Amino acid sequence: MKQNPFTSDKRSALTAGLLIMLSVNSSCEDERRQREASCDCAGKPNVFAVSGMEGTVFFDAEAERWGISVSGGGDIKEYILYDAVHVFFPCNPEAVYEFENKRVLFSGNAYDFPDQITVPAGTRLFCIEISAAGAPFACEPEDAPPAELPWDYPVKPGTDEWVQLGGYDERAGVSQIPDSILPGLSTADLTDLCLNYPFLYDASGFHDRTLGLDALFANFNGIRELYTRKEISAYILKYYDRDIHNLCLLETGPHPDRFITLSPGLDELLLSRIEWHGESDREEFMEILRSLVRGYEVERYYDSYLSQLSKSNRFARAHIIFKMNPRALETFPEYIVKAMLFNGALYEYNKEHIRAFDELSYKLIK
């Protein structure tokens, strides 16, 4: 199972002692209700998806109930709460028996816990039917193995030859893929070349993200060829999954590769440009949306490191959703839709719209 980097000793303080806090804050009546409260996931309304969350499995002997405590990873249904504890009670606890008192990665469909019982401030309770659970791995960088490409850029940034070329026009000129080679490149090789294009990251430097993508497509023949190929999203998603995974390196200290914080957003911009040809593309677009939602969950945790990522993710999700069904965004004010399709920038005073858009995304991938 691929690691989802919600790991930090800082968050364990909120989880430790949770059961003690529950018992201290509970009256006799609350204790009775806690013992009687149970989760039944069959046919529940307002179900929302949880994917790749990490928490600690515990058994509440008093209430005879299993639970998973998640601290600081963000409340999937509501706007993110970094200082809150979220407890998920499994409807199918056999899925987590083996992880008692251990960290676990889990996914499934959840809904609000049905009983109003006394809990510590900043704690929210949910029921969940777990679809997958497994042990997290240590944060190890995922690097693509060096590819044996039939062609590579003859001059690369950082070399003396690159400096001697002078301006943008000369450097962009030598970075074009020769017409004699371009059509014969496999989609895998072409994707690798495009994602290593020397000026690729310039596309993320535009306030209007669409203009940045337009400039990339106008100035590089490789990206234009790539987007004539079928099912290119699968190739881009491989890079996206790797780049999202590698964000865990931010918690290991300063990292020399600045592209760790830039690469996921660039992948998201490229995914936003995938063409919709009709209903035959729906499953492909749903997979893109599912991947973007998983990436968003990780990015929100690292928001203090890189606040721009959530914007590029909303931009990509908005474009993917709009292409599948333009009417899906009709419930939002026109200026909000324009903001999301322009650059994804929504701010604190838009948090209700952010929450609604996130809930729409989760609803669509159920």
DSSP string, 175-198: TSPPTTTGGGS-HHHHHHHHTT-T
Query: Which 3 state secondary structure label does DSSP give 301?
Result: helix
**Which residues make Cβ contacts (< 8 Å) with residue 195, sequence separation at least 6?**
236, 239, 267
Measured from the Cβ of residue 59, the count of other Cβ atoms closer than 10 Å reads: 15
Measured distance CA(317)–CA(308) in Å, rounded: 15
Task: Return contacts of 19-24, CB within 8 angstroms, 24+ apart.
Answer: 19/58, 19/60, 21/120, 21/123, 22/60, 22/119, 22/120, 23/62
pLDDT of residue 77: 43
- E-strand spans in the chain? 48-60, 65-71, 85-90, 103-112, 123-134
Q: 305-335: per-residue pLDDT in tens? A: 665 667 889 999 999 999 999 999 999 999 8
The closest of 273, 164, 153, 265 to 224, measured between CA atoms, is 273
**Can you say whether the dihedral through the CA atoms of 56, 58, 63, 65 is positive or negative?**
positive
The closest of 8, 76, 12 to 355, measured between CA atoms, is 76
Measured distance CA(47)–CA(221) in Å, rounded: 45
AA identity, residue 93? P
Q: Which residues in the chain come in under a pLDDT of 50?
A: 1-26, 32, 35-36, 73-83
Task: For the chain, give the number of residues.
Answer: 366
Range list of H helices, 179-332 = 187-194, 209-219, 221-226, 232-245, 259-272, 282-301, 308-324
Confirm if 359 and 365 have CB atoms less than 8 A apart: no
Give kind and range of the element (H or E) at residue 14. Answer: helix 9-15
**Which residue bears the tokens 């106008």?**
218
Confirm if 69 and 15 have CB atoms less than 8 A apart: yes
Measured distance CA(245)–CA(242) in Å, rounded: 5
Six token digits for residue 179: 């017409």
Measured distance CA(335)–CA(90) in Å, rounded: 40
